[in-house]
Amino acid sequence: MIIQIYAFTEIEQAIQAAHMGVDHIGFIAGDYGLVHAELSYSAARALAHALPAGTRKVALTMAVEIDEILRMVDIVQPDIVHISTDLHDISLKGVEELRKRLPQTVELMKAIPVEGAQSIAPALQFASLCNYLLLDSKVRGMPGVGATGQTHDWSISRQIIQAADIPVILAGGLTPDNVQQAIQTTSPAGVDSNTSTNLPGDPVKKDLQRIRSFVDAARREQAQATQIT
């Protein structure tokens, strides 16, 4: 079970979270004034390079130009590029071009808004070009996909997870209280948290106790599922 947490801005907190068992440390690479917790490329690089060995560095990008994303990768050097813009911002053809031009060591993750059964087909199309999908919630009027603190229809997510042939990470309003139910319902390859592992009411600062609780709950469900099988 992959545990992925966004969006770190402080190096020491990111390191502590990694030691707690967070597999994917996520951060927002690019200061565009679009979403909370954005980091300059130099700050994102510093955070990524400080992480313990074995921790996967996941750079979320709100850029829509392929050359700009590649510039970010060259500077920040993440393990995974997470495209979190809306589906129409970077087309399938654009993702295919990015995949071809990325270094072979860098993997690609695409955020998919789960808005109903109509989300299944595009999710599987993007899955054919990516290493991971991230299923998240979308609020109209907010830029990109995710960081809403809201859940979505897990039955749709489950269908995508079952049909995709790559790892699928479930996101969208997951908390220490509901992550076990989410895992039971959808059987994802991983789970993701952003807003629910922040300090209450703070759009940026992380809460290490909430992170620990989220990790413990997800691992507990993973252990129980392993015992059953």
Which H helix or E strand runs over 179?
helix 179-186
Quick one: tokens of 148? 């809403």
Q: What is the pLDDT of residues 161-193, one digit of tens each?
A: 999 999 999 999 999 999 999 999 999 999 999
Q: Quick one: which H or E segment has residue 58?
A: strand 56-61
Q: Render pLDDT for 26-60 as a digit per residue (tens, 0 to 9).
A: 999 999 999 999 999 999 999 999 999 999 999 99
Give backbone dihedrals phi and psi of 16, rounded to 5 degrees, phi first: -60, -40
Look at residue 141 and tell me whether its pLDDT is greater than 80.
no
pLDDT above 90 (res 81)? yes
pLDDT of residue 151: 83
> CA-CA distance, 55 to 72, in Å (whole number)?
19
Burial (CB < 10 A; 0-12, 13-18, 19+), residue 100, is exposed
In contact, 142 and 164? CB cutoff 8 Å: no
The yes-or-no verdict on residue 144 having pLDDT over 70 is: no
DSSP-derived secondary structure letter, 37:
T
What does the pLDDT read at residue 43?
A: 98
Using the predicted structure, report yes or no on whether residue 154 has a pLDDT greater than 60.
yes
Q: What is the pLDDT of residue 229?
A: 57
Least confident residue range of 147-151, 207-211, 212-216? 147-151
| Residue 150 near residue 174 (C-beta atoms within 8 A) | no
Nearest 5°: phi and psi at 46? -60, -45
User: Beta partners for 105?
Assistant: none
Backbone phi, then psi, for 133, in 5-degree steps?
A: -110, 150
- Across 71-160, where does the E strand assignment appear? 80-83, 107-113, 132-136
Comparing 219 with 151, the larger pLDDT belongs to: 219
* Cα–Cα distance for residue pair 95/107, rounded to 1 Å: 12
Q: What's the pLDDT score for residue 142?
A: 65
Q: How confident is the model at residue 148 (pLDDT cuts 50, 70, 90)?
A: low
Beta bridge partners of 169: 134, 190
Task: Indicate the pTM of the whole model.
Answer: 0.95
pLDDT at position 227 is 65
State the Cα angle at 157 between 202 and 82, rounded to 5°. 55
Chain segment 93-137, per-residue pLDDT in tens: 999 999 999 999 999 999 999 998 999 999 999 999 999 999 998
- Average per-residue pLDDT for the chain: 94
| Angle (deg, nearest 10), helices 66-76 and 41-50 | 40
On the 0-12 / 13-18 / 19+ scale of CB atoms within 10 A, 158 is middle
- Domains, the chain, ranges and CATH? 2-228 (3.20.20.70)
